[in-house]
Structure 1
Amino acid sequence: MKKTVLALLSLCLLFSCGLSRNESEEHVYTLNVDEAEKKGFSSMFDSVAYIPLETTEECEIGRISRVLYHNGKYIVADELTNTVFIFTEDGRYYSKIQATGNGPGEYAQMADIAIDKFEEKIKILDAMQVKVVSFDLDGHFTGETKLPVSPSPIRFCQVDRDKYAFDFERSFYEKEWQYNLSVNQEDFTGEISKFIPYDKPLSICFSSRVTLQDVNGEVLFIPLYSPTVYTIESSELKPRYMFDFGDKWVSQEFIDTEWKDAIEFMNKLNNANFVHYFNMLESGSHIYGEFMYGENKYYLLIDKETGHQFLQQGMKDEKYQYEKFSMCCVGNQFVIPLSSVEYNSMSGEKGVQLPEDNNPVLMFATFKKF
C-alpha cells in the first residue's frame, strides 16, 4: 500500500511554524502562526537569478521531483518519465539516465537520488526492486547493490566515503528494524547504527519532504512527525535544532491512527487543526520552510547568523504562487524550479518569453538578512 501511495501521490506532512526565539534554549525556535505577517513570498527575496534548462528532443522534463548540485552539474530527477537529466552550470543539457526496467542496471521506481562525491557517481534508489543502481555523470551504468531489507528505504544520502543514511519512513513491523534511520554501508554489511525507535509503524505515509540533505558537507535528518532536526556525524545522531509549535503540533492520536484509505487520510489531514505539508531546507545562511495551516500557506525564514525569524502567511491573490518548493541550495542560494509559464509571468512583457512547452527554469533566490 505504501509504495502504491508513493507512486501516485507526492505530498508531505510534518511540523508547524511561526515566530520568536526561545532565548533560554539556544537551538529551540518557538513558533506562532497567529503572528504571521500577510505578505507576498517574493518580499523575502534579496535577489533572484534564473537559468533556463535547455530543451532538446532527447531532453524533455515532465515533472521535477528532486534537484541536486555537484561539481558544476545540476542533477534533475523527473518523476513523470522516471529519468535523471544532467545539466551544466549554465543550464545546457549534458546527459541523462533513462534505464527503466526490471533487469540488471535498470530501475523500476526511482524513490530518491544521491551523489557519491568520492567516486563521482549518481545513485538511484529503486524502492520497488529494493536496490541502489549507480551511474557515472555521463549516464553510464557502473554497478548496483541489492539491499537485504524489506520494505525498501525511501530516502538516502551519503554520509562519508563508506556510509549512507537510509530513511525507512516508519514502515517496519519487525521490532529489530523499528527505527526511523539507519547509517551503514550501502550493502548493509558491517556495523549498522539505528536511530529514533518507534512503537508503531505507519499504515499510510507519503512525503515529498527532503528528509535527508547535505548542507555544506553536513548531513541533516528530518524525521516524520518530529519537531527536531538532527545532524548525522558518521555513526552519531545529534540534535541540531528544534521547533516548538505549541498546540498546533500534530496530535499523537492522529499519528497512531491506522488509516486504510489514502484519500480519507488526506481529507482528515487537511481538516485537522494542525500544521501540515511542511517542508524545509537549509543553506549556509538561512533556514527556510513552508507549510499549510487551515486553507493558508505559510513561509518561514530564519537568519542563521542573527537567529531572527520571519513568518508570513501567503497571499491568495499573489501573482506568483511558486508551486514548487526549493529543491536544493547552492551556497546561500535556494534553487526553485519554475515552469516556463511561471517564468514568463514573472519576467513580464519586457523579458525573454519562453515557449510554454519548454523545460523548467531554475530560479536562484537569495533571501534577505535580518
Structure 2
Amino acid sequence: MGKLKLFGFASFLVFFFDACTVHETKSEIPTLSIDLDQVRKGKASDYFESVDYLWFEDESSEDASIGVFHRVIKHKGRFYIFDEDICICFYIFSEDGKFIKKIKGYGEGPGEYMSPSVFLIQNDTILLNDISQKKILSYDLDGNWLEDGEQRLPANEVHLDSKGNEYYFSRSYMLNNTKNQVRVFDKHGHLKFVGFPYKDEFLGLNVVNRKPFVELSGGVVLVDDYIDTLYIIDQYVEKPFLAFDFKDKGYKSKDLERLKDLDVMEQLEFLNKKTPLYFDGRAVLSERFFIGSFRFQEKSVIGVYDFENHVSSTFDFGVINDLDQGKVIYGLSPLDQESVYSWTTGIDLYKHVESLKRTMSKEEWQKYVKGEGSNLVNTAIRAKESENRVLIIFKWK
C-alpha cells in the first residue's frame, strides 16, 4: 500500500429534481438561481440517458443481507458496499448481484477496526480508515487483509484523485492547530494546499456530507454545506466553480447571531421549520450537470445547473422516472464518473410493478414488459420477496 494515509469519508445520500428553467445572467462565475416561486416537477430523462437495475441477491447466505449503504464502489466487475453503522463491515458482490463475501473485523488488534470511516479503492487496494485507532487497513480485491497503515492526519472525509493527490476535509474539532478545513498532499506526501477557513458561525449546524470531494476533468470540487459558492481545486489553486443565488432568501448575519443565543431544542425547531434558504451539502455532479439539495424552512427543493447551456432549474423534491415508468426518485449518490444511483428494496420494487400493471390494459402491459419496462419488471419479479437492496443506476447524458 505504500505510505498512503487517509481519514474520514463515505458516501452520502443525495437528492433530486423537477423543472423550472432560468438562464444565467452575465457573470464570470456560473450561477445557479434557486427560485422558490418557480418550482416544478422534473424528469429523469432531462439529465440521464438510461436507467438500469441490479438486485443484490440475499438468497444464498444470511451474510448477503445489507444494512446501510454508506458507500458503493463499482470496480473491475464487482460492487463493494460499505456499512459503517449497522454491521460495521463491507460486502463484495459480483457485477450481476451475486454475493461473494462479507468482511468484518471489529476489534483493537491488527487487521481490526473500531470506528471505520474512509472506504475507497486505489491501485486495486481497498482502504478502510479507523478513526479511533488512527490507522488505515488495506485489503486486496477479494477482501483479504494486507496490512495496517498510519493515517497522515485527522479528518472527517478524504479523497484520492486520479493523480495520487490526497484531499483531507476536517471540521474544526478535528484539528485545533489550524483555521482551515482542507489540506492537499501530493503523491509524495508533500503538503501542497491549505485552505477554506472554518465557518465558525455554522459550527452548530453542520450537515453530514459523506462525499465533499468530487473529481472532474478540471480538478476536484469541494461540495460543502451552507456555502454560497462551490470551489474547484486545480493545480493546488482554488477557483470559483458555481455560485448560488438564493434570491434574498439566504442566511443573513442576524440569523446567525440569533442562533448563538438558542438552546439545543430551539436550534432544532429553527432548523426544522424556520431556516432561510441554504445548500445542505448533498449533490451529484457530472461534467455537464450539478444537481443539489436545498432547504427552506420545512421544504426541500432541488437545484440543477446545466454548464453546457448555462441554465438554472429549481425542482420539487422527487424525480419522475420517465425513462421506464420506474419509481419516483428521492435520493441519488455517485457511483462512478458515468453514473449515479438510488435504491429501493426488492419488495417495494415489486409493489411498484404490480401498481403499474393495474393501470395498463393487457396489450399495453405486454408491450411494456417487452419494451422499456423489461429490465425493471424482470428485476422486480426476481427480487419480489427480498428486503435486500436493488440499485437503480442512472447514466448521465
Question: Given the two structures, how large is their TM-score scaled by the length of structure 1?
Answer: 0.79
User: Helix, strand or coil: the match of 2:92?
Assistant: strand
Write the letter of the residue equivalent to 1:143.
E
User: Partner of 1:198 in structure 2?
Assistant: 198
Shift of 1:67: 1.8
Q: 1:173 to 1:315 in 2, by over 3 A?
A: closer
Q: How do 1:134-149 and structure 2 match up within 5 A?
A: 134-147=138-151, 149=153
Deviation readout 1:18-59 (Å, 9 max, x if unpaired): 852433224322413324333266575654221112223222
Q: Is the 8 A contact 1:12 1:276 kept in 2?
A: no
Write the letter of the residue equivalent to 2:309.
T
The 1-side partners of 2:20 and 2:109 are apart by 48
The 2-side partners of 1:100 and 1:170 are apart by 28
Shift of 1:299: 2.4
User: Partner of 2:168 in structure 1?
Assistant: 166
Deviation readout 1:80-138 (Å, 9 max, x if unpaired): 2111222333223333432222222222222232221xx21122232232332222211
Shift of 1:335: 1.4
User: Helix, strand or coil: the match of 1:348?
Assistant: helix
User: Partner of 1:358 in structure 2?
Assistant: 387
State, as a whole percentage, how many aligned pairs show the same letter. Answer: 22
User: Partner of 2:62 in structure 1?
Assistant: 57
Q: 1:343 to 1:137 in 2, by over 3 A?
A: same
Write the letter of the residue equivalent to 1:24.
K
Q: Is the 8 A contact 2:209 2:225 kept in 1?
A: no
Q: 1:279 aligns with which of 278, 282, 286?
A: 282
User: Helix, strand or coil: the match of 1:334?
Assistant: strand
245-254 vs 60-69, which deviates more?
245-254
Q: 1:189 to 1:49 in 2, by over 3 A?
A: closer
200-209 vs 123-132, which deviates more?
200-209
Shift of 1:141: 1.6
Aligned residue pair count: 350
Q: 1:108 to 1:199 in 2, by over 3 A?
A: same
Q: 1:284 to 1:329 in 2, by over 3 A?
A: farther
Shift of 1:157: 0.7
Q: How do 1:60-71 and structure 2 match up within 5 A?
A: 60-71=65-76
Write the letter of the residue equivalent to 1:236.
V
Shift of 1:254: 5.3
Q: 1:264 to 1:66 in 2, by over 3 A?
A: farther
Q: Is the 8 A contact 1:73 1:87 kept in 2?
A: yes
Relative contact order higher in (CA < 8 Å, ≥ 6 apart): 2
Give the unaligned 5+ runs of structure 2: 1-7, 358-376
Q: Is the 8 A contact 1:336 1:362 kept in 2?
A: yes
Q: How do 1:217-236 and structure 2 match up within 5 A?
A: 218-236=219-237
Write the letter of the residue equivalent to 1:327.
S
User: Partner of 2:129 in structure 1?
Assistant: 125
Shift of 1:276: 5.3
The 1-side partners of 2:240 and 2:204 are apart by 27
Q: Is the 8 A contact 1:296 1:313 kept in 2?
A: no
The 2-side partners of 1:328 and 1:38 are apart by 24
Q: 1:95 to 1:215 in 2, by over 3 A?
A: farther
CA RMSD of aligned residues (A): 3.7
Shift of 1:252: 4.6
The 2-side partners of 1:156 and 1:131 are apart by 13
Write the letter of the residue equivalent to 1:95.
K
Q: Is the 8 A contact 1:18 1:32 kept in 2?
A: no
Q: 1:28 to 1:62 in 2, by over 3 A?
A: same
User: Partner of 1:3 in structure 2?
Assistant: none
Q: 1:72 aligns with which of 73, 77, 99?
A: 77
Q: 2:310 aligns with which of 291, 307, 311?
A: 307
Deviation readout 1:215-269 (Å, 9 max, x if unpaired): 4694321133322223333533333222222323234565675599766544321
251-260 vs 223-232, which deviates more?
251-260
Shift of 1:332: 3.8
Give the unaligned 5+ runs of structure 1: 1-5
The 1-side partners of 2:279 and 2:287 are apart by 26
User: Helix, strand or coil: the match of 1:62?
Assistant: coil
**Based on CA coordinates, which of the two structures has the bigger radius of gyration?**
2
Q: Is the 8 A contact 1:18 1:31 kept in 2?
A: no
Q: Is the 8 A contact 1:112 1:125 kept in 2?
A: yes
User: Partner of 1:28 in structure 2?
Assistant: 30
The 2-side partners of 1:287 and 1:157 are apart by 19
